[in-house]
Amino acid sequence: MLERLFQLKAHNTNVRTEILAGVTTFLTMAYILFVNPSILGETGMDKGAVFVATCLAAAFGSVVMGLIANYPIALAPGMGLNAFFTYTVVLGMGHTWQVALGAVFLSACLFFLLSIFKIREWIINSIPLELRSAIAAGIGLFLALIALQNAGIVAANPATMVGLGNLGSPAALLAILGFFLIIGLEALRVTGAVLISILVVTTLSILLGVSQFGGVVSMPPSLAPTFLQLDIAGALDVSLISVIFAFLFVDLFDNSGTLIAVAKKAGLMRKDGHLPKMGRALIADSTAALGGSLLGTSTTTSYIESAAGVSAGGRTGLTSIVVAVLFLFALFFAPLAGSVPAFATAPALLFVAVLMASGMAEIEWSDITVAAPVVVTALAMPLTYSIATGIAFGFITWVAAKTLAGRFRELNGMLVALAIFCVIKLALF
């Protein structure tokens, strides 16, 4: 049955290798079990329900990817998108988390339609690679600011807006220790470095009396507080159009980049650069995002950590199925997730920020019409506390720079239209 479903022999792999790869991928991305409830919980959502929704969304998405596309790519609620959900849409714009879930649902519907009608390639190709890299880097800087705030390393300052926090506090010291631990373990290529750091910092925090221990294993909490609680009608408000498109664009770029990177590492990409079953993979991804919003979590997306499983030999969707089973098993560890303080997950956020900011290395800094929009995009996200605003500033600056430099021919209709839409949005809403 497994051979028929996943064509193991054709991909030069076996069940044992696929299971090992699935375990490896799960260990590298399991930190989301602790980080996602911590972030979404700040909106007022029930953390226990969010934990269950995270497990189920990751399991559902990974199963769909494994069965539909037969790719060794696991899914879970995305980093950056969960921060945008909480700190921009809910806390920043003042919308309820139910409305934010509605926006996630609508963006997933659009993503699904784009995948069905194969419009996605046109949109992706319309956005310059440098601008896509800037968006990723900006999200990284946004996550870094949130991480430093959660750790108490950065604090509000009435004179300078932000300033140095109390580095002598237990929370700051433990967060710094956790970040250094991740760096050391990653440099030594230890699988699950982020997860190990979270557990070590949490254990030290409990032993020192800084945080409370809630237990390890129990029956899963109720999903009722978040299940089907999305407000789709509320998300149709005009002021949320840019939010829906921000969810859509970030998910689209993130998925495309992850699929290409992981497939290339797994040897699944053809010599001409074409990725077989790309359409199926994106349909699986958009379906997972739809399911996640119904369960009660922010956008579910493909994880670049899947590359760890590929390095361990994963080549088929069986790897994803193994990850899904492990996420279902994790449902029984809700008390442990509830024992993890925000400063223990802060190093994970900061480490993800480091990875996302690395895209800036691809920028052609000698071209000012490229460098200026990139810097504006990346800086606008943390400084305005909004991914959507950063994307808008990026589109506008790119079009303005190219036009004023007499290089209008380098632009395309899609990019110009997006820039005009962003100007209208910023001016009126």
Task: Specify the 3-state DSSP secondary structure of 351.
Answer: helix
**Nearest CA-CA partner of 26 in 141, 194, 147:** 194
- Give the chain's length: 429
Q: Residue 295: its pLDDT value, please?
A: 94
Tokens linked to 389: 């605003």
Q: Where are the beta strands (DSSP E) in 65-126?
A: 75-77
C-alpha closest to that of 298 among 35, 73, 62: 35
| Residue 249 pLDDT | 79
**For 74-84, how does the pLDDT look when each residue is reduced to its tens digit (9 = 90+)?**
999 988 789 88
Structure token pair of residue 255: 């998925």
Would you state the structure tokens that stand for residue 359, as one six-digit string?
């895209």
**C-alpha count within 13 angstroms, C-beta hemisphere, residue 328:** 11
For the CA atoms of the chain, what is the radius of gyration?
A: 21
Instruction: Tell which residue, 105, 43, 46, has the closest CA to residue 300.
Output: 105
105 in Cβ contact with 293 (< 8 Å): yes
Q: Could you give the CA distance from residue 68 to residue 55 in angstroms, rounded to a whole number? A: 20
For residue 42, what pLDDT is reported?
Answer: 92
Q: Using the structure block, give the residue that is written with the tokens 């790309």.
A: 278
Pairwise CA distance, residues 132 & 143, whole Å: 17
Would you state the pLDDT for residue 339?
A: 86
What gap in Å lies between CA 138 and CA 379, rounded to an integer?
6
Task: Classify residue 5 as exposed, middle or buried by CB count within 10 Å of its CB (0-12, 13-18, 19+).
Answer: middle
Given a cut of 50, the residues of the chain with pLDDT beneath it are none
pTM metric for this prediction: 0.81
CB 296 within 8 A of CB 223: yes
> Could you read off the pLDDT of 92-108 as tens digits, one per residue?
888 999 999 999 999 99
Q: How far is CA 114 from CA 66, 123, 243, 286, 414, in A?
A: 21, 9, 17, 9, 15
Do residues 379 and 142 lie in contact, with contact meaning Cβ atoms separated by under 8 Å? no
Query: Which residue in this structure is represented by tokens 């921060």?
Result: 83
Residue 274 pLDDT: 62
Question: 100 to each of 36, 208, 297, how far by Cα in Å?
Answer: 15, 37, 10
Retrieve residue 3's tokens. Answer: 């051979």
Token pair belonging to 271: 């010599």
SS3 163: strand
User: For position 271, what pLDDT does the model report?
Assistant: 63
